[in-house]
Structure 1
Amino acid sequence: MSAEFIAVLAVIAAAMVFDYTNGFHDAANAIATSVSTRALTPRAALLMAAAGNFIGAHFGTEVAKTVGDGLVTLPTGIASLGVVFAGVVGAIVWNLVTWYFGLPSSSSHALFGGLVGATLFAAGGTVEWGTITTKVLIPMVLSPVVGLTLGFLVMLAILWGFRRGNPGRLNRGFRHAQTVSAAAMSIGHGMQDAAKTMGIIVLALYTGGYQDSPTEIPTWVYYTSATVLALGTYAGGWRIIRTLGRKIIDLGPPEGFAAETVASSVLYFNALVLGAPISTTHTITSAIMGVGATKRISAVRWNVAGNIVIAWIITFPAAAGIACLTYFLVRPLFS
């Protein structure tokens, strides 16, 4: 086997590890609200989330193209594969750190930060700051604002529209509705997060000289990325599920339905219309905060929310720093 082939395999293996950690790290995005409101049992919710992630991956082509051919430009060759490998390792390490502390940080931004951090020190590598700004940094700021605002407005509409309803009957109805909204959230997560792994694999294949186009996605890449993400999701990330489902606010079925509906709508719009790789974590967490604020501002545990926001802010530079260190360690192996 050639050195380039081994290097490509190493990057693909690292991408699969990232995909798996993304699954158990971000499982909470799809199911925390449904589990906390008892709309679904934990295992049923995880199984549904895994299936939704697998399905959604096949609709994330535009997001995958953005990751594979929009964020960084690298010359073909084994040295560039070391850059991609280091970037993915940076994201994996940060995922594990935030999972350990139960912080719902963004796996997406960890991956982007890792790629940018490693590329900055690579000979011939270029960070596409225009794309980073328009499709990563601006959405990173706007998606939580949109999620917070829409969560607040949608929950207000539900409170007004069902103000004369029987509470017990309404809770039962919204528990059933949450099955649909959680499924939509799972598919949206697959559109976004499996697609990012697909983009990394395509970038590795192109950089290693195994395909001519940086945007063509082989069929096996769809199925492999989707399957590994689904397996990771089914493994579950219970630390983060507890944070999202219980520690930010006390969710009821109407609140859970509103948050999931808002978050999945934002994910679909960005994936299908804009091709923007946004964070599912930021979107659902901010939607939960917006929904909770309709009760009263103090209903949201802002100290917990503050810790989450701090994790959001430092994710990009932290993953970039880890990727830089990794790159200097592995560079002799990719030469």
Structure 2
Amino acid sequence: MTETILLVVVVVTALGFDFTNGFHDTGNAMATSIATGALGPRTAVLLSACLNLVGAFLSLSVAATIAHGVVDQSVVTLPMVFAGLTGGIVWNLTTWYLGIPSSSSHALIGGLVGAALAAVGLSGVEWQGLVSSVVIPAVLAPVFAALVASVGTWLVYRTTRTVPEKSRTREFRWGQIGSASLVSLAHGTNDAQKTMGVILLALIAHGTLSEGADVPLWVVFACALAMALGTWIGGWRVIRTLGKGIVDIEPPQGMAAETSSAAVILLSSQLGYPLSTTHVASGSVLGSGLGRGTQVRWSVARRMATAWVVTLPAAGLVGAATFAVQHVVGGGLGDVVVLALLVAAAAGFWYAARRTPVGHHNVNDPWEADQASAPATA
């Protein structure tokens, strides 16, 4: 496989990741609005897709962080980028199939880091940038979002305690349309940028662009469109978990959670942090339950937190293993083998998902069984 053909394969694979990011993370923006009845499922997903497209053009700070602050540009090669993308996509598909709201962002970053470690060792990773821009925000962002949503939910119920419940529900459903739209816009400003950064790395590795170059306009448009299409397909498995699995959400809670998520994501995008929008949205939903004093399904929350912790290393292992396969097989044949394995994995997950539709209870699925049987505990 020539360098130019491999570049095309890497760009298409990156856009494929962006597509999986779109359907994996739709729940971040729209799960609570669908759960409370503020928006119908198809309307919510269409609105989210359009606003993700718009948001992708509003900022490039996160793309610059991915391109310059995670791996050393001087050692990046196209096979390394391809291996990293494979790690991110495989983990995205795994957690999507299980309905776990894990981080697409951390899957991508983990895959890149794993591939860099396998290729050149510890020197291939920008450790300071990884810790300051990825690890620390990953820990602090969901906690901060939960606190903001908790206080916001408490204030909402406190200030509207004399309003009849029927009127309050109706008005806050209208408010949720605005807050959910803001989350979708914020999601586009952060998540689409990560794939832009990866494609920029690939273009630099190929020699098409020089180190320190800006993201070309065609890359911005392609990534925005891929994420919007993925959002339109819809991540119904993740929506079910995030919208109903952690707490039973009412419209005032939903609006508080969405507003909290949007504020944290937009701030992070402005600062250039490649934040996990999934972590933020999940923290906000959890905080809205605590702020209302309602019951929280901690068993589901713990399973989600476990997925958060293992995402970076798990995707990293897949990225490293992919690069090892490329190296062992050697040359263009190694790239072809990896591409074939990736296509087979994607087809397998898609086929398995169609055989177990979302909403269908499967007693053999421990994730669904845990959600169905776990008692809600305060």
Please give the range of the TM-score, normalised by the shorter of the 2 chains. Answer: over 0.9
State the alpha-carbon separation in 2 of the partners of residues 21 and 255 from structure 1. 28
CA offset at residue 30 of structure 1? 0.8
1:302 maps to which of 298, 323, 338:
298
Q: Distance in 1 between matches of 2:198 and 2:143?
A: 28
For residues 126 and 228 of structure 2, the distance between their equivalents in structure 1, rounded to whole angstroms, comes to 31
CA contact (8 A) 2:150 2:288 kept: yes
Any gaps of 5 or more consecutive residues in structure 2? 335-378
1:303 aligned partner, one-letter code: S
Q: Which residue of 1 aligns with 2:265?
A: 267
Which of the residues 110, 113, 117 maps onto 1:113?
110
SS of the equivalent of 2:120 reads: coil
Q: Are 1:23 and 1:233, in contact at CA under 8 Å, matched by a contact in 2?
A: yes
Counterparts of 1:125-164 in structure 2 under 5 Å?
126-164=124-162
Matched, 1:315 2:311: yes
**For the residues of structure 2 that align with 1:312 and 1:54, how far apart are their CA atoms?**
26
Identify the structure with bigger relative contact order (alpha carbons < 8 Å, sequence gap 6+). Answer: 1
Measured against aligned partners, the alpha-carbon deviations of 1:300-334 in whole angstroms (never above 9, x if no partner) come to 10000000000000000000001111111123236
Report the Cα distance in structure 1 between the residues aligned to 2:44 and 2:97, rounded to whole angstroms.
Answer: 22
Displacement of 1:3 in angstroms is: 1.9
Which residue does 2:90 correspond to in 1? 93
Give me the TM-score of the superposition, normalised by structure 2.
0.85
Q: By how many angstroms is 1:68 displaced?
A: 1.0
Alpha-carbon contact 1:144-1:286 (below 8 Å) kept: yes
| Cα contact 2:157–2:292 (8 A) shared by 1 | no
Q: Separation in 2 of the partners of 1:215 and 1:66?
A: 13
**Matches of 2:107 and 2:191 in 1, distance apart?**
12
CA shift for structure 1 position 126: 1.5
Say whether residues 1:239 and 2:237 are aligned partners.
yes
Q: Distance in 2 between matches of 1:101 and 1:69?
A: 33
| Residue aligning to 2:284 | 287
User: Which whole-Å CA distance do the structure 1 matches of 2:42 and 2:213 have between them?
Assistant: 36
TM-score for both structures, normalised by structure 1: 0.96
SS of corresponding position for 1:121 = helix
Q: CA deviation at 1:202?
A: 0.6
Residue type of the alignment partner of 1:167: E
Residue 192 (structure 2) aligned to one of 191, 194, 201: 194
Q: CA deviation at 1:296?
A: 2.6
Q: Could you say if the C-alpha distance between residues 76 and 131 of structure 1 is closer, same or farther in structure 2, counting changes exceeding 3 Å? A: closer
1:41-73: per-residue Cα shift (whole Å, max 9, x none)? 000000010011101101230000000111101
- Partners of 1:69 and 1:215 within 8 A in 2: no
Partner of 1:69: 68
Unaligned stretches of 5+ in structure 1?
none
1:54 is matched with which residue? 53
User: Map of 1:217-232 to 2, 5 A cutoff?
Assistant: 217-232=215-230
| Structure-1 residue corresponding to 2:322 | 326
Q: Within 1, Cα distance between the matches of 2:274 and 2:84?
A: 17
Quote the Cα distance in structure 1 between the aligned partners of 2:331 and 2:242. 40
C-alpha root-mean-square deviation of aligned residues, in Å?
A: 1.4
Partner in structure 2 of residue 23 of structure 1: 22
Letter in 2 for 1:283: V
Percent identity (aligned)? 44
Report what 2:338 is aligned to. Answer: none
Matched to 2:170, the amino acid is R
- In 1, the alpha carbon distance for the partners of 2:269 and 2:8 equals 28
> What is the deviation of 1:215?
4.1
Query: Could you say which residue in structure 2 is the equivalent of 1:8?
Result: 7
Tell whether 2:68 aligns with 1:84.
no
**Pairing 1:44–2:43 present:** yes
Match of 2:361 in 1: none
Please give the per-residue CA displacement for 1:80-138, whole angstroms capped at 9, x wherever unaligned.
11011100100000001001111000000001110111101213861000000100000
The letter of the residue matching 1:69 is H
Query: Structure 1: which 4+ aligned runs deviate by more than 2 Å?
Result: 74-77, 294-297
Q: For residues 9 and 224 of structure 1, what CA distance do their matches in structure 2 show?
A: 13
* Aligned counterparts of 2:331 and 2:5: Cα–Cα separation in 1: 11
The separation in 1 between residues aligned to 2:291 and 2:220, in whole angstroms, is: 40
Aligned letter for 1:105? S
Aligned match for 2:207, one of 203, 206, 209: 209
Figure out how many residues of one structure are paired with residues of the other and give that number.
Answer: 330
Q: Which residue of 1 aligns with 2:34?
A: 35
